[in-house]
Amino acid sequence: MSSLRNYKIVRGPTWAGVIFAGAASVVLGGALGAFLLAFRPVNAGKEMPPDNERKPGEVYYVEGTRDTAKARLAATKRKAFLDGQSVTLSEDELNVMAGPAPAPKPAANQPKKGPEPKAAPPPPKSPAKKSGEPEKEVESFVRGTPNFRLRENDVQIAVPITVNSLGLGSVVTVRTHGQFTKDGDVFRYDISDMWVGALHTDRLPFVRAWAREKFLTQPLPEDLQAAWKKVAKITVGNGSLQLTVP
């Protein structure tokens, strides 16, 4: 009897514990899978590759054209729009206007250079960082230049995002399809489909809402805000965007 008194009954896990562990495994597995898909590189090109050349699991999309030679009137049309006129922008013009300003070209007839000046003394070294001095904060997400592709009743926007969190330094492409719809008195871009890398967000509304707020909701430049409020109609064609101002 004395030996029985020292015996302890070992019980197995409860059903609640099993269910919780299973649910946690599903959630963590889904989150890991979504993370890997989001960081999978996507392939951008001028046209979709043939079916027999596509690799299983790869994501492809056609990017909009950005030919500066075909966008020489972009600055003129921008000024006309600011002056309250209706304009039709080509895909090339829209992408040139969305990108950084081109570097100025050197003058054709430049005077001959004189003798090379003496090398300037090296700049003084910056003082060493003091202990306890806070480091310069690095942005977790850096938004790149958006790319627009215009087709009838569809506006595709692809934005490269550099992710610096966790020391990744990886580029993720956020790609959306949508249309311009009236929200009160102002047009806005209404997303109908979104991809984050190779992750389709149709069943992840919280990811879509977060990505839209973080990467796509960007205020217009101040000089365009007043002109945009006057737009009465937006027509999207194959490679063109028409802004109608009454």
If you average pLDDT over each of 53-57, 67-71, 113-117, which comes out highest? 67-71
> At 225, which helix (H) or strand (E)?
helix 222-229
Residue 159: CATH number of its domain: 3.15.10
State yes or no: pLDDT of 23 exceeds 50: no
Q: What is the pLDDT of residue 73?
A: 95
Please list, in sequence order, all residues whose beta carbon lies within 8 angstroms of the beta carbon of residue 124, skipping any fewer than 6 positions away: none
Q: Among candidates 157, 208, 201, which has minimal Cα distance to 178? A: 157
When pLDDT is averaged across residues 183-212 and rounded to a whole number, the result is 84
- C-alpha to C-alpha distance for 43 and 66, rounded to whole angstroms: 17
Determine the Cα–Cα distance for residues 57 and 125; give it in Å rounded to an integer: 50
Domain residues for the domain of 144 are 43-99+139-244
Total count of domains within the chain: 1
What mean pLDDT do residues 98-118 have?
58
Measured over the CA atoms of residue 142, residue 151, residue 89 and residue 93, the dihedral's sign is positive
Q: Is 24 inside any structural domain?
A: no
Maximum mean pLDDT: which of 25-34, 65-74, 200-209 = 65-74
Name which residue leads in pLDDT, 133 or 176.
176
240 beta partners: 90, 237
Q: Is residue 15 part of a domain?
A: no
Residue 151 is assigned to a structural domain of this protein: yes
More confident residue, 127 or 28: 127
The sheet with strand 240-244 has its strands ordered as 87-90, 240-244, 233-237
In a domain, 218, yes or no: yes
pLDDT of residue 29 exceeding 80: no
* pLDDT at residue 178 greater than cutoff 80: yes
Q: What is the pLDDT of residue 111?
A: 55
- CA–CA separation, 199 and 207 (whole Å): 10
pLDDT category at 138 given cuts 50, 70, 90 is: low
Give a yes or no: residue 195 inside a domain.
yes
Is 175 a member of any domain? yes
The pLDDT of residue 26 is above 50 = no
- Is residue 120 situated within a structural domain? no
**146 part of a folded domain:** yes
Query: Which tokens is 9 given?
Result: 């009954």
This prediction's pTM: 0.71
